[in-house]
Structure 1
């Protein structure tokens, strides 16, 4: 017979470990600041692309493009909550976007550089496969990270089939209509993502490793709230 003894100290340790694994960085404390409407600059949207109300931003998704921060960032921590308002929604945050990737960007064009931290609703997989007739194996809906255009990044495994994306190690994203929590940390050309409390993806050797942060609008309505950032040395 095998006997199992479970002491109070063991239970406490297990609970503590689980809490650490699912710890949420809420963006409060020294150095953290809230980003609101005045902290963002229109790139190729219109008056209705981003509308703000008491700290919550409703993005219409159109025209396709990006809205950048007023200032550039190098080393930073960022928290942001997001909720797709329609099934199969597509959006994300771009980090370290250079000036040239945004210059004269016409409506319905995405930034041509930066590191994308994707926010993709689970319904996008079925939609893609129905429209294209192809298997949706080159992306996930749980927090991919990848370089865009002229930018570079060495993605952390697990990788997409062509090796260009860091696929999430766990599937933690919630579906449309629910709020998701992203904690993003970018330091010295390395970016890491925590989805709803757990680290899932990332990459290093990013070039450039300084630039704007952009909220992506890609054809579907999404809400953002509690956008907070802390600059690091």
Structure 2
């Protein structure tokens, strides 16, 4: 089952050396695929604040530090369609909440968060701290990399918990410890690896090109790596599944 379940991501990763050697650009040169650091350890030059504050995001000792307040996001300067994203992060508080949005329009609504595919980053104590009214813990599916369409984005979950997809295995570490997400996003399908193993997926998203957004949602979180490898374009433009295009026409 695992071979079938995660064959999509494996096929992409195995094909990259062949693609980089054999695919030619319009100039006749072979196109190279490599990771670009979206966080350079020095400043926020690849990011634009959307609706937080100058104090929300900062760089300290080579780490990207988010205070979590106010709730909101900052977005990438570029839009992305198909890619592999690596994010290394750690919560600093029990029950902390954050995430990264893929294919986002970067236009927050009433809850101060935008439309997009959210890759959840919840600290392991979140279900026990944010309980139901009767005191019972929330579903453990919330933590360890849940995937879901936020702000009205629709998609088909691989391991359903309602409209969300929860991980098959709980692999996230608690506050103070580093986690590593590898996200493969191609043509509306997302596969997520947590700390060395693919454990979640979602497909048929109705938005397939947009911004990346990092989320502030009430608690301090640190990032030490945000890297992206862009892959060849798909059909997002043809299908009208591009979100947030009007923001590219504005001066950042």
Q: Decide: shared fold, TM above 0.5.
A: yes
RMSD, aligned α-carbons? 2.0
Residues 104-143 of structure 1, C-alpha deviations (whole Å, 9 max, x = no match): x68x6112x1010000001111112276624412742111
Asked whether the 8 Å contact 1:55–1:226 carries over to 2, the reply is no
Does residue 142 of structure 2 align to residue 140 of structure 1?
yes
How many positions carry a matched residue from both structures? 198
How far 1:150 moved relative to its partner?
2.0
Asked whether the 8 Å contact 2:129–2:137 carries over to 1, the reply is no
SS in structure 2 of the partner of residue 125 of structure 1: helix
The structure whose RCO (Cα within 8 Å, separation 6+) is larger is: 1
The correspondence for 1:89, drawn from 85, 91, 96, is 96
Asked whether the 8 Å contact 1:83–1:176 carries over to 2, the reply is yes
* CA distance in structure 2 between the partners assigned to 1:68 and 1:131 by the alignment: 34
Asked whether the 8 Å contact 2:87–2:227 carries over to 1, the reply is yes
Residue 169 of structure 1 is matched in structure 2 by 168
Gaps of 5+ in 1: 1-20, 22-28
Q: How does 1:72-221 map to 2 (within 5 A)?
A: 72-99=79-106, 101-102=107-108, 109-111=112-114, 113-129=115-131, 133-137=135-139, 139-157=141-159, 159-160=160-161, 163-221=162-220
For the pair shown, the structure with the greater C-alpha radius of gyration is 1
SS in structure 1 of the partner of residue 176 of structure 2: coil
* CA distance in structure 1 between the partners assigned to 2:131 and 2:143 by the alignment: 14
Asked whether the 8 Å contact 1:79–1:226 carries over to 2, the reply is yes
SS in structure 2 of the partner of residue 126 of structure 1: helix
Distance 1:84 1:69, change over 3 A: same
Residue 17 of structure 2 is matched in structure 1 by none
TM superposition outliers: structure 1 runs of 4+ over 4 Å? none
